[in-house]
Amino acid sequence: MWIVTGATGFIGSALIWELNRHGEKNILAVDHVPPSERPEILKKRAYARFIQADKLFDELEDSALARSIKGVFHMGACSSTTETDEDFLRRNNIEYSQSAWEFCARMNIPLIYASSGACYGDGTKGFDDARNPADFTPLNLYGWSKLKFDIWAMTGHPAPPRWCGLRFFNVYGPNEYHKGEMSSVAFKAFNQIRATGRLRLFRSHHPDYRDGEQLRDFVYVKDIVRWMREMMETPSVASGIYNMGFGKARSWLDLAKNTFANVDQPLEIDWIEIPANIRNQYQYFTEAKMDRLFAQKLSRPQWSLEKGIADYVNSYLKQEDPYL
């Protein structure tokens, strides 16, 4: 049996889709949010049972259940970059992750957990997953909580036999619809264009970047969950931190043009000012250094921005049922 935490969230539910595609149905789905509150997100998915996140480790006191677990995908966390409650983030993003780690170490099973590209802060020190995590300074408490756990994982605690911390970059794709302000610009762009025929984007306040040419590493969720499955299935994958991006930065204009094209509307953009309170923290470039992941002999990215946006818009966002 596999454990997937964050099962009613974006990446967790997409991972269950990927596991189901490969015949895996014996899955323990775990989340703070029950399927009854997001009935669409797991409606088409097969899994053995659902457990509330705060009950998981009590349930795992059952030695028979614990011994049946083959591996843990720990995607559950508070993923809001605007969260200001440090104690809440410590409980959800650090202490809960430590419990998952300690369970996997005790039971001698592999762990894959969600870190974040937010660990890299403003990007001035690069986006290298092989660099000492202590070198980076996140811009918000969410990034701080993810970096704290990465540092904890790498400082000599009894460890699972294999573990991988995944630093997600700009992930977009189906099943993100509940995320509100934290949803991808791809999803927001589709909704704005369908509603108004126009898209609002931040103008540039940096002399080296023209409006819309700010760069991000956009990665389709189907690439992410395929890599996660491959990592769990491949015993030769080395333990450690891995970036999860496409590996090539693209501009906001690239994303906008592809979204407009897939809804058959002409490009119409309204440039808006970056709010003064976040202007000094705004990132003009992110690009995941992917050498370490590719050295593990896993698959290469399969979803370019062009292919990913086309699939997302036409196979999901335009459909009556947009879920995986």
Instruction: Dump pLDDT digits (tens) for 28-57.
Output: 999 999 999 999 999 999 999 999 999 999
CA distance 273 to 213: 14
10 C-beta neighbours (distance < 10 Å), count: 26
* pLDDT at 295 (0 to 100): 96
Residue 136 corresponds to which amino acid? F
Phi/psi for 50 (5° steps) reads: -110, 140
* pLDDT at 279 (0 to 100): 81
The stretches of 244-304 forming alpha helices (DSSP H) are 252-262, 276-279, 291-294
CA distance 307 to 11: 19
Tens of pLDDT along 67-92? 999 999 999 987 767 777 888 888 88
Q: What is the dihedral of CA 114, 11, 40, 314, to 10 degrees?
A: 160
Pair 323, 43: CB distance under 8 Å: yes
What's this model's pTM, rounded to 2 decimal places? 0.95
User: Domain 2-171+219-246+287-302 sits in which CATH superfamily?
Assistant: NAD(P)-binding Rossmann-like Domain (3.40.50.720)
Annotated active-site positions, please? 142, 179
Strands 170-172 and 250-251, by their bridges, are unpaired
* pLDDT at 28 (0 to 100): 98
